[in-house]
Structure 1
């Protein structure tokens, strides 16, 4: 099957798009073996190295799978969505529900595992949050997230910290919108300051049950507000 010739640049991106189109439109059904590199290069009007890079890209997207000694086969007609893409498309309430599941357990671990360095970091983050009450909504939300990040870090589990870091960019704008739309800081610029101070105190004292209860209640209240937006 002849494919449209491509413009000279950027060649790899164009090759990926052309091959992807042939796959998604069913010209090469699932299970079909792709033509060889030389044939594809001639059809696309590019070099074999460009074809090789395009195939590698589509393999990473979950559309193709090379088989040693047999060739390259179509295994799907739609690309797999990776984790960052799924987060970008997810509703803020869905993200927040998962955040709750992750962070409540994390604060329990933090209460058990916190070190003196963690306590110092938590105190500093709490002070920064209080100071941000005089700033913009974005500054306040950033300081709030920084405190929660310090709580998760105190759990001493790099996987938990990594997962939480994935959520942060997708939580930030939703929380800024929430604070502004509901004018949560109108009467109290340091909204939630007392609760967060109690949370840090519970973690510092190693009181897992109290830390989990405080955080769960705080996050549930925020989630309820997000659902009402």
Structure 2
């Protein structure tokens, strides 16, 4: 019985969801070997690379496991909630509080570890943010998040960078509709960038903490 062809986009997400439904629905019980990439690709109407990414997502969710030379087997019908899914369930204020903790420390580290290239990236992102302030909310939030990503990258800590990457999509979705309420355009991160560039970690951390505290106050009072 064919699984049914998918719409063109987003293919990986659709393929993952189709396969997840088949596993949770009992088509492939625990211990069952999934059909090969070629067979799944033909059934779903997608390429093998799309199937490969979908299977990887299922493995990350704890539903399947690849066994060298044997194939991919179903190991559970109870998916584990990933970190980003948990973030989506959390209140925006809670996510923002966690973000503040991460970024304030990242700013402190960035002041010690940033390279000239990092600083150039922050300056460019700051300029892009200023230009985006005259555009729509979504464009401005994208530019603002890009600036903060550049500051976190300056900390030269891969774990902090990865954590910020997990926060970013959830925050972007929420902040795009709250830009005016939170006064994000009125905040000017130039002083934070300057403190990082000059190597003043305590000042960078204090400035960023003040910015986040003001935003959190508005966020908690937002309808």
- Taking structure 1 as the reference length, the TM-score comes to 0.67
Residue 20 (str. 1) matches residue 24 (str. 2): yes
Q: State the structure with more CA Rg.
A: 1
Name the CA shift for 1:16/1:99 in 2 (closer, same or farther; >3 Å): closer
Name the CA shift for 1:77/1:121 in 2 (closer, same or farther; >3 Å): closer
CA distance in 1, matches of 2:120, 2:148: 14
Residue 95 (str. 1) matches residue 99 (str. 2): no
Name the CA shift for 1:65/1:118 in 2 (closer, same or farther; >3 Å): closer
CA contact (8 A) 1:64 1:75 kept: yes
Tell me which residue corresponds to 1:114: 114
CA distance in 1, matches of 2:18, 2:129: 48
Q: Specify which of 215, 218, 222 is matched with residue 225 of structure 1.
A: 218
- Give per-residue Cα distances to partners, 1:9-63, cap 9 Å, x unaligned: 47x987864653459xxxx9xxxx86x77xxx9xxxxxxx88xx9xx89776436
CA positional deviation for 1:183? 7.5
Name the CA shift for 1:178/1:19 in 2 (closer, same or farther; >3 Å): closer
Residue 184 (str. 1) matches residue 188 (str. 2): no
Structure 2 matches for 1:168-207, cutoff 5 A?
A: 168-180=168-180, 182=181, 184=183, 190-193=185-188, 196-207=189-200
CA distance in 2, matches of 1:183, 1:132: 16
CA contact (8 A) 2:23 2:77 kept: no
Residue 209 (str. 1) matches residue 202 (str. 2): yes
CA contact (8 A) 1:63 1:79 kept: yes
| RMSD after superposition | 4.0
- Give per-residue Cα distances to partners, 1:108-155, cap 9 Å, x unaligned: 000011111112112212222222222222222222111111111111
5+ residue gaps, structure 1, are: 1-5, 42-48, 68-73
CA distance in 1, matches of 2:126, 2:150: 10
CA positional deviation for 1:176? 2.1
Between the two proteins, the alignment pairs up a number of residues equal to 199
CA positional deviation for 1:64? 7.4
Name the CA shift for 1:75/1:123 in 2 (closer, same or farther; >3 Å): closer
Runs of 4+ in 1 over 6 A off after TM superposition: 12-15, 56-59, 64-67, 74-77
Helix, strand or coil: the match of 1:156?
Answer: coil
CA contact (8 A) 2:182 2:218 kept: no
- Taking structure 2 as the reference length, the TM-score comes to 0.69
CA positional deviation for 1:87? 2.5
